């Protein structure tokens, strides 16, 4: 098995969840929207999206009949958080981007944010200093990680924080030919019908990937790779637009994942994501079956019929 490498130019519990948000917060064509689905007011977008997912009943507010807006009103959030309605309005409209930790904790409590969502909220407060005309950064897996990848008999690959495939081994490409160097899992998941057919639980898988992307990017929404990728998906995929508008934040954890493979049928594999030391944002992803299971036999069959090595893709631009 050989690990292919490319040097691309970049690419617990949940909080309150709900149906797709009405409106067009950050969607292409909405007022103030930038390519990539952000308006330059990330904190306000996040507060508004999460506010619209909390019902009055969840917040302990008596039902007063039909409401014109989904979720909580701004003044209700302010009242429950113990701050003035005018100050909360300034937060949502981006006029105050440096609230105190006490204010953030109070608002997070009202919006029913879990630890991951609170951590994401805090990244939106302090605006990072970014040089103008940022250039994409090359993401290169360390040599040691590539040697480890080469030695694994399980399907494995190295991905960036934007789910670009930077390196993969033969078993990974036998499991899914799209796990090839230069590919992007998000683009395939939302735009390639063959990839969608591989996941019987496609709806849940897309939720997980988008929530992880939101966590990974944090407030770094000017990253050229992020702008390129999300701009393409916002225009081409209604499902991506729907999920991005929710502002869900969730890290990916080791979990079983069900696949419907065109050659061996259904199988369940454990998916692990391991951080690569000294390579910020890069993860080693490994699929492995339960020992002695029928899934292990199916995976071995795929590996024995491994397709010939394919040439690396050109670098992601």
Q: Is this prediction's pTM over 0.85?
A: no
- Tokens at residue 258, please? 């069900």
Write phi, then psi, for 156 (nearest 5 degrees). Answer: -155, 150
Q: Hey, is 78 helix, strand or coil?
A: helix
Specify the pLDDT at position 125.
82
Q: Hey, is 261 helix, strand or coil?
A: strand
Q: Percent of the chain scored above 90 by pLDDT?
A: 41
- Tokens at residue 11, please? 């690419």
Maximum Cα–Cα distance for the chain, whole Å?
Answer: 66
Specify the pLDDT at position 62.
80
CB 50 within 8 A of CB 247: yes
Specify the pLDDT at position 102.
82
Specify the pLDDT at position 156.
96
32: nearest Cα among 40, 43, 44: 40
Write phi, then psi, for 83 (nearest 5 degrees). Answer: -125, 165
Q: How many angstroms separate the CA atoms of 243 and 230, rounded?
A: 12
pLDDT beneath 50, residues of the chain: 1-36, 129, 307-317
Specify the pLDDT at position 39.
57
Say which residues have a Cβ less than 8 Å from residue 138's Cβ, sequence separation at least 6.
Answer: 7, 8, 9, 10
Specify the pLDDT at position 7.
34
- In tens, the pLDDT along 184-220 reads 999 999 999 999 999 999 999 999 999 999 888 877 7
Q: How many angstroms separate the CA atoms of 4 and 165, rounded?
A: 10
- Tokens at residue 3, please? 């690990």
Q: How many angstroms separate the CA atoms of 190 and 237, rounded?
A: 6
Say which residues have a Cβ less than 8 Å from residue 270's Cβ, sequence separation at least 6.
Answer: 254, 255, 256, 257, 287, 288, 289, 290
- In tens, the pLDDT along 43-93 reads 888 899 999 988 888 888 887 777 777 888 889 898 888 888 888 888 888
Place of tokens 């049928």: 265
| Exposed e or buried b per residue across 247-258, where buried means at least 16 C-beta atoms within 10 angstroms of its C-beta | bbbbebeeeebe
- Torsion sign, CA atoms 4, 6, 11, 12: positive
Say which residues have a Cβ less than 8 Å from residue 286's Cβ, sequence separation at least 6.
Answer: 152, 154, 155, 156, 271, 272, 274
51: nearest Cα among 108, 115, 96, 118: 108
Q: Hey, is 207 helix, strand or coil?
A: helix
34: nearest Cα among 279, 206, 227: 227
């Amino acid at each position: 098995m050989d690990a292919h490498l490319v040097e691309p130019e970049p690419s617990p519990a949940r909080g309150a969840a709900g149906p797709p948000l009405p409106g067009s917060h950050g969607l292409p064509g909405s007022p103030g929207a930038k390519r990539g689905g952000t308006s330059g007011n990330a904190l306000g977008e996040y507060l508004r999206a999460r506010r619209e997912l909390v019902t009055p009943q969840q917040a302990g507010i008596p039902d007063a009949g039909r409401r014109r807006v989904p979720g909580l009103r701004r003044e209700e959030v302010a009242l429950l958080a113990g701050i003035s309605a005018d100050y909360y309005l300034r937060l949502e409209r981006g006029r105050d981007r440096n609230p105190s930790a006490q204010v953030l904790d109070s608002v997070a409590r009202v919006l029913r944010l879990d630890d991951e969502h609170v951590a994401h909220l805090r990244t939106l407060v302090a605006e990072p200093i970014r040089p103008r005309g940022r250039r994409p950064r090359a993401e290169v897996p360390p040599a040691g990680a590539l040697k480890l990848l080469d030695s694994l008999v399980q399907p494995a690959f190295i991905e960036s924080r934007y789910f670009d495939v930077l390196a993969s081994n033969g078993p990974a490409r036998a499991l899914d030919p799209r796990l090839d160097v230069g590919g992007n899992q998000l683009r395939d998941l939302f735009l390639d019908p063959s990839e969608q057919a591989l996941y019987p639980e496609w709806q849940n898988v897309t939720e997980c990937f988008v929530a992880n992307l939101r966590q990974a990017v944090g407030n770094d929404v000017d990253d050229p790779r992020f702008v390129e990728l999300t701009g393409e998906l916002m225009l081409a995929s209604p499902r991506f637009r729907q999920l991005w508008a929710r502002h869900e934040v969730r890290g990916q954890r080791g979990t079983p994942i069900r696949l419907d493979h065109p050659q061996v049928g259904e199988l369940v594999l454990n998916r692990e994501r391991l951080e690569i030391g000294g390579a910020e944002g890069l993860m080693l992803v490994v699929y492995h079956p339960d020992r002695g299971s029928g899934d292990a036999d199916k995976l071995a069959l795929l590996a024995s019929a491994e397709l010939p090595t394919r040439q690396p893709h050109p670098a992601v631009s």
